[in-house]
């Protein structure tokens, strides 16, 4: 990805990781991207009442090339899916995704052929934000959780090790169709 991938493991990498994570978590720039009613709550988070600029995130980018956060705010139609993926591909690395609202995360009440049943079918999601719609306070809370995740993101060889461990855990996990709810 960058020069940080060339840094050898050890104390030096730990320090670089901390500084890089600290810098990144305070300079996340979202792409201007809203799909449905949830986007109104996302926009409200930028108003003086909620003031997302406290987290350095008030500058919604007009082009994906200068954005590193995609907030999928609303349901994703099948027609919109390739467009969403193209916007994601054009965003700069490293990049993150917040799935805002039940529609983006699972299709919500729109259990039909026209709506994607979860945006994680086409892009990797870092934070799932529940609700219909989630309040701006919940969006701010998701931003704080994402910042903590960014701060703890490993670099270089540590990142490779973490990615392998995550893939192994995903392969060993129980398939969702075998999971039982509270009423099972």
Give the residues lining the site for ligand SF4 (CB under 6 A): 36-38, 74-75, 101-103, 108, 132-133
For the chain, the C-alpha Rg in angstroms (whole number) is 17
Q: Tell me how far CA of residue 27 lies from CA of 149, 152, 181, in angstroms.
A: 14, 15, 39
Contact between 72 and 78 under an 8 Å Cβ cutoff? The reply is no
Closest approach, Cβ 101 to ligand SF4, in A, equals 3
For residue 31, which of 81, 3, 2, 72 has the smallest C-alpha distance?
Answer: 72
Contact between 78 and 107 under an 8 Å Cβ cutoff? The reply is no
Number of H helices, E strands in the chain: 6, 3
Q: Which is nearer to ligand SF4, 141 or 158 (CB)?
A: 141
State yes or no: cis peptide before 14, omega within 30 of 0.
Answer: no
Q: Which is nearer to ligand SF4, 74 or 156 (CB)?
A: 74
Q: Which is nearer to ligand SF4, 67 or 129 (CB)?
A: 129
Closest approach, Cβ 75 to ligand SF4, in A, equals 5
Q: Which is nearer to ligand SF4, 21 or 101 (CB)?
A: 101
How would DSSP label each residue in 106-155? Answer: H-TT--STTB-S-GGGTS--SEEE-SSSPPHHHHHHHHHHHHHHHHT---
Closest approach, Cβ 177 to ligand SF4, in A, equals 23
Closest approach, Cβ 57 to ligand SF4, in A, equals 20
Closest approach, Cβ 104 to ligand SF4, in A, equals 7
Q: Which is nearer to ligand SF4, 102 or 127 (CB)?
A: 102
Closest approach, Cβ 141 to ligand SF4, in A, equals 16
Q: Which is nearer to ligand SF4, 38 or 125 (CB)?
A: 38
């Amino acid at each position: 990805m960058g020069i940080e991938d060339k840094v050898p493991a050890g104390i030096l990498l730990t320090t670089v990781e901390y500084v890089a994570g600290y810098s990144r978590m305070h300079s996340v720039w979202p792409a201007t991207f809203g799909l449905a009613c949830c986007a109104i709550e996302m926009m409200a988070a930028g108003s003086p009442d909620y003031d997302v600029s406290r987290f350095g995130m008030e500058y919604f980018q007009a082009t994906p090339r200068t954005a590193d956060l995609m907030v999928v705010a609303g349901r994703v139609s099948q027609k919109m899916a390739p467009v969403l993926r193209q916007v994601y591909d054009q965003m700069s690395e490293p990049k993150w995704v917040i799935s805002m609202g039940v529609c983006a995360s699972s299709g919500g009440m729109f259990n039909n052929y026209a709506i994607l049943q979860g945006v994680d079918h086409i892009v990797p999601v870092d934070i799932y934000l529940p609700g219909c719609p989630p309040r701006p306070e919940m969006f701010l809370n998701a931003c704080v959780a994402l910042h903590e995740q960014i701060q703890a993101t490993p670099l270089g060889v540590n990142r490779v090790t973490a990615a392998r461990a995550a893939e192994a855990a995903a392969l060993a996990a129980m398939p969702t169709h075998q999971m039982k709810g509270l009423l099972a």
